[in-house]
Chain A
C-alpha cells in the first residue's frame, strides 16, 4: 500500500534520523500544511533540506510520507509516476474517528446504506463478465500494480 521503497528503507535510516522519526514526521506534516498544495516526495525533500537539518535520502522521505498516509494524516493523488501528498484537514480526521466508532457497532449495517458491499468469489467473476466490454470498469488498483 505504499510507494516503492527499498526493502531496507526503514532500517537504512542513519542513526540520529532514525531516533528522530517522530520529529521528522511532524516536520514533513508541517511543511505540507504550510505549502497548501500537493507536494511530491521529491519536493518535500528539497524543503526539508533547505531547513537546518542535513540532507535526507529520497527513500527516507518516501518512507515518512507513506507512514503518514497509512496513519490517515495525509491524502494523496496521482502525479506522474508517483504520488503527490496533501495533509488531511482536522475535520476529516475527526470524521474518520467517527467512522471507526460506527464501524465497531453492530447497528452500523442496520442504518447505513453502503454503496457496494464485498463480493463473493463467484459474484466477482460474474461482475467481470457483465462489465467485460469495458476494461476500464475493473481497472487495476494503482497500489497493487506496483507491488
Chain B
C-alpha cells in the first residue's frame, strides 16, 4: 500500500529540502514554490490520513450495514492494520484542531492589523516615537510602514531608502499572506513546519532583492540590514574596533549555512544575484506531484475495495481485467 504512505513520507523530505531550496532559488519563485508545495503536501497528507482511517473504519459492522457492503470481503481484503487506522484518525483530529486554532489566531491578528492601519494618518509611512528600534510592514487597506523615529535617526538617506523599499515590497506583494497560508498548511502536518519557516525567510529575501533593485546597490541593502539588526540587539550596538581589524579572517569565506536569517540574508545580498534553477524547480514540483498522484491512487484503491465488497466475491470475477488495481485483486 505504498500510495497511502508516500504522501505521509514526502512532507518529511520537503522539511529537509526546504532550507537548501530557499537558499538557492530566486526568492520570488521560491516563495511561490514553497507555499504551494506546503499547501499541496498538507492536502495530500491529510487525504492519506483520512483514507487510512477510512480503510480501518470500513471494517466496522455498523458502517458495513449502512453502506450495504460485505463485511466479510472487507475484513479479508483490507490491507490496513487497525492500529494504523486508529492512529491516523487521531492525527486527523489533532490536525483539525491545529488548523482551526492557527486560522483563528492569524485571522484575528490580521483583523487587528487592518483596524490599526485604518486608524493611522493617511501617510504610507508612520514614524513612531519612543525608545524602540523597529521597522515593520503593517498589513491594511492601505498597508502602512511603521518605523521608529529612533531608528530613522540612525540611518543615512540611502539606508532609509533601502529600508522603505524593503517594507514596500512586503505590502505590495502581500507577503504576510504567503507566510500565513504556509503556516496554516503546516498546522495540518507539523512535518511541514520547516517549509513554512522557509517561506518566512524567502519573503524577506524577496523584499531584500526588491530593495536592491530599487536602490541599485546590493551592498547598501546588506549593510542596512546589518546595521538595523545590530541596533536592535541589546549589547551589540557598539562595534569593537578589534573585531573589525582581523584582516586574516576576512579573506576566508564565511559560512552562513547554519546561521539565523539575518546573516543569511546579508550573505545572499553580498553574493551575486540568484540564478535561474529550472532543474531544481522541476524536481521539486515532480516530488510534490508524486505525493498528489499517490493520494489519488490510494483513494482509487479504497473506492475499488468498497465496490468489491459491495458486489460480493462472485461479481468481481466478471469484472474486466484491469478494472481493479492489481494490489486489490491479489488480495481477493
Contacts and interface: CB of A to CB of B under 8 A. Distances in A.
B163 A130 contact: no
Nearest to B239: A138
B72 interface: no
Interface string B124-159: 001111111011111100000010010001100000
A101 B116 contact: yes
Interface in B201-216: 203-204, 207
Nearest to B258: A122
A1 interface: yes
Interface stretch (B47-55, B101-109, B318-326): B101-109
B234 to A, nearest CB: 8
B232 A117 contact: yes
Interface string B110-125: 1011001001110000
A116 B229 contact: yes
Q: Size band of the B side of the interface?
A: 35 or more
A144 to B, nearest CB: 5
Contacts of A120: 260
A115 B149 contact: no
Given A102-B112, A111-B113, A113-B170, A131 B237 contact: no
B167 interface: yes
A127 B120 contact: no
B312 interface: no
B113 A138 contact: no
Interface in B82-115: 105-106, 108-110, 112-113
Given A124-B233, A140-B237, A132 B129 contact: no
Contacts of A108: 109
A95 interface: yes
A102 B136 CA distance: 12
Contacts of A33: none
Given A94-B119, A128-B243, A138-B244, A88 B229 contact: no
A98 B118 CA distance: 11
A75 B129 contact: yes
Contacts of A98: 116, 119-120, 128
A120 B237 CA distance: 13
A126 interface: yes
Contacts of B227: 137-139
Nearest to A128: B243
Nearest to B229: A116
A81 interface: no
Interface in B243-270: 243-244, 246, 249-250, 254, 256, 259-263, 266-267, 270
B330 interface: no
Contact of B237 (A102, A136, A141): A141
A57 interface: no
Contacts of A123: 229, 259-260, 262-263
Contacts of B179: 113
A94 B116 CA distance: 10
Contacts of A96: 128-130
**Most interface-central of B207, B254, B270 (chain A CB within 10 A):** B254
Contacts of A7: none
A106 B105 CA distance: 9
A110 to B, nearest CB: 5
Given A113-B207, A118-B234, 10 more contacts: A95-B127, A110-B109, A111-B180, A113-B179, A123-B229, A127-B229, A129-B250, A132-B243, A138-B244, A140-B239
Interface of A: 1, 70, 72-78, 88, 91-96, 98-99, 101-102, 105-108, 110-142, 144-145
Q: Shortest 4 CB-CB distances between A and B: which pairs?
A: A107-B109, A72-B129, A116-B229, A138-B239
